[in-house]
Structures are given as structure tokens and as C-alpha cells.
A and B are shown apart, each in its own frame.
Chain A
Amino acid sequence: MRQEIEITGLNKSFGQGASAFHALSDIDLSIGSGEFFTLLGPSGCGKTTLLRIIAGFEEPSTGVLKVNGKDVTGLGPSKRPINTVFQSYALFPHMSVADNIGFGLKMLGKPKSEIKATVAEMLQLVRMEAMADRLPSEISGGQQQRVALARALAPRPRVLLLDEPLSALDLKLRKEMQSELKRLQSETGITFVFVTHDQEEALTMSDRIAVMSAGEILQLGPPEDIYNAPVNRFVADFIGDTNFLTLRVKGIENGEAVLELPGGKQASARLPNSISPPVGARVTAVIRPEQAEPTAAGQGDMQAVVEAATFFGTDTHLHLLLDDAQGFVLRRQNRPDQPAPAPGAKLGLSFAPGALRVLED
């Protein structure tokens, strides 16, 4: 895949000397052409700063940024083939929807006929034909979102940056816009760089995700890898729900760790290549709540007592207490013929093969 964005050795600090704040540390990142790429992390992790550097609103302290092979590090935002969808939408309040969408083309000096044709095309693309003459204040939040998208897409940028564009929408509208964004991206073939703190949004939409924390990229990969094989405790905790178990290593077999479970049984756990804990050491192992199966009491890999049950509609989260007093959350799909066990009930747990994984601490 051809690289659309290449970032090498990028650092960004605000302020000087001892009070300087390092917003980004040694970022190296390549984003492929036509990719839906997501920067995911909690607020303050540097993802928005990175986006603003790509857009040209901030200058990096050190490092190089290339777009389509061309060094754009010193160029202002108006000189980059990149457009942004702002978190607040930033629609020009005194301009009609059509004038907003045509603004970029007008500033590029395109002929009026071309602007008109492209605006019409964009209005159709985001299904806002009927609203062309309205002012931004006269349309709903979801519609403003579509106009902001159309405005950023109209000049046909190489890269579209989206700064938490869905955070102001309610849940139903957000789901709609998620699929809308995916559709727009595949129809236009433009590289999307999407910033969000919503891990579910990131998992459902992205081709690749960069999980960020404290100005660093912790893990970079497709959503499945990030979810199934988080590299450390932060990623495992931030993406999805996770059970953390502290377990003793009994041995190493075929590159997998054999761990002693609460209650005395053994289970093998995947080991990252980077670590090989000695026999007898205590390690942190993780398992997703939906990757364990409830069984009859006395059967399975571990025994547990139900402490509480939380109903979520499609499934119920069972808060369990294991034999050695560690907590465990089990996600159990709801079925009308099998009511969820009540608090105090005893049950067994069995793991899907490969579900248990040792974490680097």
C-alpha cells in the first residue's frame, strides 16, 4: 500500500524549560492511502495535538511530516491537501449551507460553474439537497455534521481529518453517522484520520487503530489485534472490558505459559514473544468477559460464586468471586429459556482455547 502520511521522529512540547509539557514523544507513524485510520485514547493523550499537527494548526517541536511523499512540515494549513472536520463543526454561521460547502473551492479560485456543480454533488453525497439555502443555525446538529463533512470533502483533499466529529450527537444519530462515514470513505477513496476517545467507535469503523496514552503510541494495528492481543495493561483496560487475574506460572510448554488457576486446575495462556517468565513467578493474565463459558458447579476450569448480576438487554454481566477471592466478570448472553443465575448461586467457568493471555506489565 502506498503511504499517504509519513511521520518520523515527531515531538511536541508546549512551554519552555522545566514547566514544558510534552504532548507528543517520538511519534513514528505511516498511514496508507485510502485507509480509515483512528487515533484512540483518553482525553489529554495527545491525539488531538497529533491531528492538529497533521492539519498544520500546530508546528511540531521536532520531526518530519510528509503527505504523499512531500515534506509539508513547515507549511501552513492552507498549503496542505488536507481538510478537517472540526469537533464543533466550525461552520461559518453567516453563510448558507451551500456557501459553506463551496468555500474551499472558492478560496482555491475555482470557476463558479465548477463550484456550483461540486456543491450540488456534495449536497447529494451527504443527502442535504433540500437544505442548500439554510443557515447553519437553521439545521439540526446531525445535519450540521453532514454539512461539515461535505465542506471538508468538497475540495477533494488527499486526507480528511476528523476530530471527534460524532461526540456531540446522541447515540442513535451517532450510529447512523458511523455507517455514513464508512460509506463516504469507501465512495471517495480519501484517507480518513479519525480521532476519538470512544473505543467502540474506533473498533467498528477503523482499518487500523493507534492507541495513545501520555503522548505515545502504545499499540498500532487492526481492531481485531488490538482487541484480542493488547500489548499491555493500559490497552487491555482501555479497549473493551477485561478480567485481570494474578496467577502463578507452573511451566512453559510450546511457547505457552501453563498457569495455576484459583482452585488448583491448570490452563495454558498465550505468551507475548517479548517475555518469558520464570517458573513460579506471578504474572498478570487477561481474559475478556465473553470468552469464558458458565458451566454447572463443580465442572469447568474454575469455581465461582455469583455476587451480583447486571442486566444489559442482550446479555447479563455476572460479577463473580473466584476461589482465591479475585473478582471476575462474565458476560452471558440472555436467553428466555435460561434465566441468569441469582446472587449466591455457584457455577463453574471454562475458557475458550486461546482466550487466556499473559500480559507484559
Chain B
Amino acid sequence: MRGHGWKWLLCTPALIVLLLAASGPLLIVAVYSFLSPGNMGGVSWEFTLDAWFRVFFRRDIFEPDLVEWNTAHLQVFWRSIWLSLQTTFICAFLGFPTAWFIATRPRHTRTIWLFLITIPFWTNLLIRTFAIQEMIRNNGTINAVLMWTGVIDSPIQMMFTEFAVLLGMAYVFLPLMVLPLYAAMEKMDFSLVEAGYDLYASRLNVLWHVILPQVKPGFIAGSILVFIPAIGAYVTPRILGGGRTMMLGNLIALQFGQGRNWPLGAALALLMLVVVVGALIFYLRVVGRNDEVRRG
């Protein structure tokens, strides 16, 4: 092992970045969530559990002893989880055939298709989201075409709905599903598919019994890559969803901005972290357990 003693030094830049950029701010957020809000934003250094209390509960303005669930916050939490789950599902549903198409092209053309998939990343997210807005707003492209062709008489309300948020998020996160799925398919031995057909399997059975188990790691990676940023999405729900379909990211930003309640924002952010980590552990457990059952 001579001469290897100094090699641990190589990880110090990474450690410093992790410490300064991740652990440090996280610690500050955790501390803030137990402090009182300052008058002009910021915090005042008085310990209180008020922020955590207000995440879940609400006091009646006129009768402070009357405590009820803070349904507004819980609704935002639930909406974020539900919209993110739907986004993940939509991305998986659309991403699978896309990735399959790319993986079954001749080797030299695959690069071109993959390149096309990554092109949206080159453009600012804000601009792309405004482009979607242009498409779906009441006097936008889609409504204009539909009305011009006479399919509808009055524009369909698409902006500021959950549909708009789903559309935007599915569009933004789709490549994050396609790429890991493609990576899994590319590694797949296609003679397995032939073996499936050879052993009398129908197309559906080949998909279910042969292909899906092979690309499962791609689905797992893709789901995680889509679900986690989706649950904290800010720009898409802000622009396409407006105030009525607020998601967690917007709620947290609101507390640090107009709400001037940094401790509440900090508590909400920490809770989101717990939800994400919890969901991740639950997901991997479920996926992992299936493997154990199969191996009997």
C-alpha cells in the first residue's frame, strides 16, 4: 500500500462542496424552523415550535384556543405528491416506447435520437414553460386551431389547471425517464425477446415477462429522477398552475417572500425532505421485496 496514504486527500474538494453547499444550508434551515419570524423577513433568535405547529395546525383568529388542521398546507402537500406521482407515471408511459424506439435503431442513428432528446435542456426552463403557456392559453395556438377548424366554439380553459401543471412537468421531466430507460434497454440481450417468442409467448407476454423485468432498473432510476424534482417543482406550477394549483415549492417560496415567515418556510422545506426520503425508502423497499419473493 506504499504511496497510497495521501490519496484520501483527493476527496477533500468533494467533501468541502458537500459541507458548504448541502449540509451547511440544511443545518441553517433546520435551526431556522425552530425560531420566530422577524418583522421584515429573516428570523428573530427566539426558540419556538410555532413554525412546526403552523405547518399542520391553524388557530382561529378570533378564538385562539380553537385549533384545527391546516387543510391548506395539507392540500398543497397532497397535491404535490399526487401530481408528482402522475407525472412519474405519464413519463414512464410515454418514455418507455420512446426509449424502445431509440434502443432498436441501428447503432449509428441512436446517437442522433439521444441528441434530439437532450436538446430541450439547452433552452432555459422559463422560456420553455412560457412556450407551453403560448400553446395552451385561452387565445393560444391549440385553442385557436380548434376554434378555426370548428371543433369547439369557445376556448377550453387549460391554463391554471392541474392539467397544465401535469403537461408542463411531464414535458420537462420526460428526458429524465427516457435516458435511464434507454440505458437499461441498450444493455438488454435482445435474444431474450426472440427466446420469448420462440417459447410461444404473445407480444403482451413478451413485454410483461421478458422486457419489463429486464428494464426494471431503468424504471427505478427514471422514477426517482422524475419524482424527486417534480415534488419540489417551482417554475412550472408557478407559471402554468397559478395560485389555484400551488405546489410545495411555491408554498415554501411564498413563506420566504411575501409571507415573511422564514421559520414556517424552513419547516415546510424540511418536511418535504422527509417526505421525499420516506417515499424513496418505501419505493426501494417495495421494489426490493419483489426481488426477494421471486427468488423464494
Residues of A within 8 A of B (CB): 55-57, 76-78, 82-84, 86-88, 90-96, 103-104, 107-108, 133, 135, 151-152, 155
Chain B 33-44 per-residue mask, 1 if CB under 8 angstroms from chain A, else 0:
000000000000
Report the count of interface residues on B (CB-CB < 8 A).
20
Q: Which of B130-138, B163-171, B191-199, B248-256 sits within the interface?
A: B191-199
Given that A92-B210, A94-B213, A94-B294 are known contacts, is A84 also in contact with B189, CB under 8 Å in the complex? no
Q: B139 an interface residue at 8 Å Cβ cutoff?
A: no
Task: A95 to B198: give the CA distance in the assembly, Å.
Answer: 17
Task: A343 to B269: give the CA distance in the assembly, Å.
Answer: 89
Assess whether A96 is in contact with B199, with CB atoms less than 8 Å apart: no
Given that A107-B200, A155-B200 are known contacts, is A90 also in contact with B194, CB under 8 Å in the complex? yes
Q: B209 an interface residue at 8 Å Cβ cutoff?
A: yes
Q: B295 an interface residue at 8 Å Cβ cutoff?
A: yes
Assess whether A107 is in contact with B195, with CB atoms less than 8 Å apart: no
Task: A94 to B294: give the CA distance in the assembly, Å.
Answer: 8
Given that A78-B200, A93-B214 are known contacts, is A57 also in contact with B194, CB under 8 Å in the complex? yes
Interface residues of B in 151-201 (CB under 8 A from A): 189, 191-192, 194-201
- In the complex, what residues of B have CB within 8 A of residue A91's CB? 195
- In the complex, what residues of B have CB within 8 A of residue A152's CB? 198-199
Assess whether A92 is in contact with B195, with CB atoms less than 8 Å apart: yes
Assess whether B198 is in contact with A78, with CB atoms less than 8 Å apart: yes
- In the complex, what residues of B have CB within 8 A of residue A108's CB? 200
Task: A92 to B201: give the CA distance in the assembly, Å.
Answer: 13
Assess whether A133 is in contact with B191, with CB atoms less than 8 Å apart: no
A84 closest partner in B (C-beta): B198
Q: B205 an interface residue at 8 Å Cβ cutoff?
A: yes
- In the complex, what residues of B have CB within 8 A of residue A57's CB? 194, 197-198
Task: A103 to B196: give the CA distance in the assembly, Å.
Answer: 8
- In the complex, what residues of B have CB within 8 A of residue A104's CB? 199-200
Assess whether A55 is in contact with B205, with CB atoms less than 8 Å apart: no
Most buried by B among A56, A103, A104, A108: A103
Main secondary structure of the interface of A (DSSP, over half): loop
Task: From the candidates A78, A93, A94, name the one contacting B197 in the complex (CB within 8 A).
Answer: A78
- In the complex, what residues of B have CB within 8 A of residue A107's CB? 199-202, 205
Task: A93 to B188: give the CA distance in the assembly, Å.
Answer: 11
Assess whether A86 is in contact with B214, with CB atoms less than 8 Å apart: no
Residues of B within 8 A of A (CB): 189, 191-192, 194-202, 205, 209-210, 213-214, 294-296
Assess whether A77 is in contact with B191, with CB atoms less than 8 Å apart: no
Assess whether B202 is in contact with A78, with CB atoms less than 8 Å apart: yes
Task: From the candidates A77, A90, A133, A155, name the one contacting B192 in the complex (CB within 8 A).
Answer: A90
- In the complex, what residues of A have CB within 8 A of residue B213's CB? 92, 94
Assess whether A103 is in contact with B192, with CB atoms less than 8 Å apart: no
Given that A77-B194, A86-B194, A88-B191 are known contacts, is A133 also in contact with B199, CB under 8 Å in the complex? no
Query: Least Cβ distance of A162 to chain B in Å?
Result: 12
Given that A107-B201, A151-B199 are known contacts, is A88 also in contact with B189, CB under 8 Å in the complex? yes
Given that A78-B200, A84-B198, A107-B201 are known contacts, is A135 also in contact with B295, CB under 8 Å in the complex? yes
Assess whether A83 is in contact with B198, with CB atoms less than 8 Å apart: yes
B197 closest partner in A (C-beta): A77
- In the complex, what residues of B have CB within 8 A of residue A95's CB? 294
| A-B CB proximity, top 4 nearest | A104-B199, A90-B195, A90-B191, A107-B200
- In the complex, what residues of B have CB within 8 A of residue A92's CB? 192, 195-196, 209-210, 213
Task: A187 to B139: give the CA distance in the assembly, Å.
Answer: 76
Task: A325 to B213: give the CA distance in the assembly, Å.
Answer: 65
Task: A90 to B194: give the CA distance in the assembly, Å.
Answer: 9
Assess whether A86 is in contact with B191, with CB atoms less than 8 Å apart: yes
Q: List 19 A-B contacts (CB under 8 A).
A: A56-B197, A57-B194, A78-B197, A78-B202, A83-B199, A90-B189, A91-B195, A92-B195, A92-B196, A94-B213, A94-B294, A107-B199, A107-B200, A107-B201, A107-B202, A107-B205, A135-B295, A152-B199, A155-B199
A98 closest partner in B (C-beta): B296
- In the complex, what residues of A have CB within 8 A of residue B191's CB? 86-88, 90
Task: A96 to B292: give the CA distance in the assembly, Å.
Answer: 12
A161 closest partner in B (C-beta): B198
Q: Known pairs A56-B198, A88-B191, A92-B213; list 19 more (Cβ under 8 Å).
A: A57-B197, A77-B194, A78-B199, A78-B202, A83-B199, A84-B194, A86-B191, A87-B191, A91-B195, A92-B195, A92-B209, A93-B214, A103-B199, A103-B209, A104-B199, A107-B205, A108-B200, A152-B198, A155-B200
Query: Least Cβ distance of B220 to chain A in Å?
Result: 14
Query: Least Cβ distance of A94 to chain B in Å?
Result: 4
Task: A295 to B194: give the CA distance in the assembly, Å.
Answer: 58
A80 closest partner in B (C-beta): B198
Query: Least Cβ distance of B215 to chain A in Å?
Result: 11
Most buried by B among A94, A135, A152, A155: A94
Query: Least Cβ distance of B56 to chain A in Å?
Result: 43
A163 closest partner in B (C-beta): B191
Task: From the candidates A84, A94, A133, A155, name the one contacting B195 in the complex (CB within 8 A).
Answer: A84
- In the complex, what residues of A have CB within 8 A of residue B210's CB? 92
A55 closest partner in B (C-beta): B198
Assess whether B198 is in contact with A133, with CB atoms less than 8 Å apart: no
- In the complex, what residues of A have CB within 8 A of residue B197's CB? 56-57, 76-78
